[in-house]
Structure 1
Amino acid sequence: MSEDLGTPVLDDHLHLDPDHGRGMAAVDDFARLGGTHLIVVNKPSWHLGPIPAEPADFRPVFETTVAAASEATERLRGRAWPVLGVHPGLVSRLVDDEGYDPDEARELMCAGIDVAAEFVADGRALGLKSGRPHYDVTEAVWEASNAVTRHAFERGAESGCAVQLHTEASEDLTDLADWAAEAGMDPSRVVKHYAEGRLVGPTPSVMSEKDRLVRAADSGEPFLMETDFVDDPEKPGMVMGPKTVPRRVRWLLEEGYDDAVHTAHVETPRAVYGVDTAATLTGAE
């Protein structure tokens, strides 16, 4: 019997690997504790196959993620949506391991974003993911990564979709919000994955640690909640387990943060992704 927390419960950034990880067992854990909706983000491409050498190499990774989200939907009171794109760490794999120069890596990664945008255009994905390394890189790699991010914003503007970002830890990413606006995107539809409790610029997708969530709730600003569950059998529970968001929602409600829960699980998903988590609980679209 699944717990009903009386509200939609969305994990905004979670990975599923049905072939190598827990897959649908993780979805069942999430649902059993009261979770209703998932944003399923594709794992880094080199975790599900070889390092891409051409744009078509991204497609199987995206297909795997779309299929996992579809299967997850069958097990949820709400539904799951895929978000597809290119992990910014790929630039280091290409440059350091495969001998690409930064411009060549940029071209391939931008092409991968283009493939992901095809899935959005076809209605098979909800949004795009991109970003820049959260670790030290050369200036040329940093510039290439920023160019890939700008390209994702351009595709997001064309597709009318949200863009999730992996970036360095920061509470001020005004530069990225400005770039999104220059590309024609509403900056509030740019989502900073693995965010702290507060953020200037994009919308924060807050890691579901209690202190971060209290900061986000007390700010009164839009936010989302996530686990970044990686579904790696060698690293069970990393980064946070799939039960975490429902447990934190229950805790927030017990602490009197009803409005913040509504913000994170109903209002912000509607504003950022254009989805209605309340309506999808009843089977409406």
Structure 2
Amino acid sequence: MTEFETPVLDDHLHLDAENQGLDAVRDFARAGGTHLLVVNKPSWHLGVEPESGPDFRPVFEETVRLVDEAREILDGDAWPVLGVHPGLISRLVDERGFTPEAARDLMCAGIDEAADVASEGRAVALKSGRPHYDVSDAVWAASNDVIRHACERAADVGVSLQLHTEATSDLTGVAEWAADAGLAPEKVVKHYASGRLAGCTPSVMCEKDYLEAAVEAGEPFLMETDFVDDADRPGAVMGPKTVPRRVRWLLEDGHDDAVRIAHVETPEAVYGIDTRATLD
């Protein structure tokens, strides 16, 4: 077991071999972290400007490769989350001259490629979403179409779905799309969530006030840093040591039940992963 006598999972961070990469994993492990869900970086961060679905494949394969190497460092395990960052639609429409509908179709093709990798058992979730900033009605509608498609493909493959969305405490509408697609709403995770969320499962950013709200709610939740592994933004959004440090803080305050919910019960319910059984 770990120094905390519990698994410690960061539900959403990125790794980049050209930046901290596996050193970030070592920092996480030294701080007491045991398990990671590693989300592929936005395609353009790896120099990929896609024209078709298969163009996304190198982004996904690089993430899978890094996860395989991270497993060798951790006392627990790591799993990929693969998909298309919703901000891509703005790059396609504003910089490359795509119509919103053409951008939607390309992004859905990228989701299909991610689903193919997941169907091979090499990812536990897909990644999709919609912009967290103001966009035109057409771009918003196209982005929602991508989310619906991602719900369908996650249901097809039997994996979960992580979403990047606007700041909100209510995703009941998205939960309805998931249910219509055959995907259990609790298997839809809002990344970068605050402490409370209706409709889907919150992956709570490790701000203390957010965590306090999640503990008070007593509902299923996960914990994340959204570490971006960018040399131009060292430590952003939160550093890889943050989740273990927040687990220590929660345990010192007597919140053992909340830690069990976030690091054992919710990961199993959402992703089907057993963080206890996968500890060395």
Short-chain TM bin: over 0.9
Q: Distance in 2 between matches of 1:34 and 1:50?
A: 34
The one-character-per-residue Cα deviations of 1:102-147 (angstroms, maximum 9, x if unpaired) are 1100000000000000111001111100000000000000000000
Cα pair 1:84 1:125 within 8 Å, conserved: yes
Answer yes or no: is 1:41 the counterpart of 2:33. no
Match of 1:16 in 2: 15
SS of structure 2 residue aligned to 1:228: coil
Code of the residue aligned with 1:127 in structure 2: it is: A
Match of 2:5 in 1: 6
* TM-score normalized with structure 2 length: 0.99
Matched ranges for 1:54-65 at <5 A: 54-65=52-63
SS of structure 2 residue aligned to 1:233: coil
The one-character-per-residue Cα deviations of 1:28-49 (angstroms, maximum 9, x if unpaired) are 0000010000000000000012
Code of the residue aligned with 2:184 in structure 1: it is: D
Matched ranges for 1:132-151 at <5 A: 132-151=130-149
| Number of corresponding residues | 280
* TM-score normalized with structure 1 length: 0.97
Code of the residue aligned with 1:208 in structure 2: it is: C
Code of the residue aligned with 1:13 in structure 2: it is: H
Q: Which residue among 194, 199, 205 is the counterpart of 1:201?
A: 199
Is there any run of 5+ residues in structure 1 with no aligned partner, and where? Answer: none
Q: Which residue among 126, 129, 141 is the counterpart of 2:127?
A: 129
Code of the residue aligned with 2:5 in structure 1: it is: G
Matched ranges for 1:1-285 at <5 A: 4-18=3-17, 20-282=18-280
Q: Distance in 1 between matches of 2:75 and 2:138?
A: 46
Instruction: Tell me by how many angstroms 1:50 deviates.
Output: 2.7
Code of the residue aligned with 1:193 in structure 2: it is: H
Q: Distance in 2 between matches of 1:47 and 1:3?
A: 34
SS of structure 2 residue aligned to 1:278: coil
Instruction: Tell me by how many angstroms 1:3 deviates.
Output: 6.4
Instruction: Tell me by how many angstroms 1:27 deviates.
Output: 0.2
Q: Distance in 1 between matches of 2:132 and 2:278?
A: 35
Code of the residue aligned with 2:34 in structure 1: it is: T
Instruction: Tell me by how many angstroms 1:149 deviates.
Output: 0.3
Cα pair 1:49 1:61 within 8 Å, conserved: no
Code of the residue aligned with 2:271 in structure 1: it is: Y
Q: Distance in 2 between matches of 1:250 and 1:7?
A: 11
Cα pair 1:38 1:80 within 8 Å, conserved: yes
Cα pair 1:66 1:124 within 8 Å, conserved: yes
Cα pair 2:89 2:103 within 8 Å, conserved: yes
Cα pair 2:264 2:276 within 8 Å, conserved: yes
Cα pair 1:3 1:33 within 8 Å, conserved: no
Instruction: Tell me by how many angstroms 1:263 deviates.
Output: 0.1
Cα pair 1:224 1:269 within 8 Å, conserved: yes
Q: Distance in 2 between matches of 1:50 and 1:8?
A: 35
Fraction of identical pairs, as percent: 68
SS of structure 1 residue aligned to 2:276: helix
The one-character-per-residue Cα deviations of 1:223-267 (angstroms, maximum 9, x if unpaired) are 000000000011000000000000000000000100000000000
Q: Distance in 1 between matches of 2:145 and 2:117?
A: 21
SS of structure 1 residue aligned to 2:204: strand
The one-character-per-residue Cα deviations of 1:58-102 (angstroms, maximum 9, x if unpaired) are 000000000011100100000110000000000000000000001
Is there any run of 5+ residues in structure 2 with no aligned partner, and where? Answer: none
